Amino acid sequence: MPVQKNSLFLVPVLIFSLNQYLEKVHRIFIPIIHSYLDDLMAMPVILGITLQVFRWIYRNAKSFVFTPVQIIIGTAYISVVFEVFLPQLSDKYIGDPWDVLCYGVGAVYFYFFINRKG
């Protein structure tokens, strides 16, 4: 099954999109949700989109899935970029170890529920 038809991928996408809509358009900010929901949804969305792109590139690879090492590397990359490098470059970003935990939880969700052979 293509990733974009997997309801367990679509749920994080919809949650992320709804949260962004409420924050940007309606200026609704619930502190704990504002701080961590996007980080929790980030890895299922990022890895899910990336998985689908890989499947499109390698057309005969409908059963392509990421290995646990690939998921860990992707999660570490996002964590370092958003929690280490960007906070050093701009005051707009704040490094938060709880964000890294959220990325990890999202990566585990991706591994068990989205990263399935097509």
Integer Cα distance of 86 and 84 in angstroms: 6
Q: For residue 109, what are the domain limits?
A: 3-114
Mean per-residue pLDDT of the chain = 94
Question: Residue 24's pLDDT band (boundaries 50, 70, 90)?
Answer: very high
Helical residues (DSSP H) of 1-118, grouped into ranges: 7-24, 31-57, 68-80, 86-89, 97-109
Question: Around 31, how many Cα atoms within 13 Å sit in the side-chain half-sphere?
Answer: 0
Give the pLDDT score at 29: 84
Q: What is the pLDDT of residue 88?
A: 97
* Domains of the chain: total: 1
Examine the pLDDT at 60 and tell me if it is beyond 80: no
What is the structure's pLDDT at 34? 87
Q: What is the mean pLDDT of residues 98-111?
A: 98
* Predicted model pTM: 0.92
> Is the pLDDT assigned to residue 2 strictly greater than 90?
no
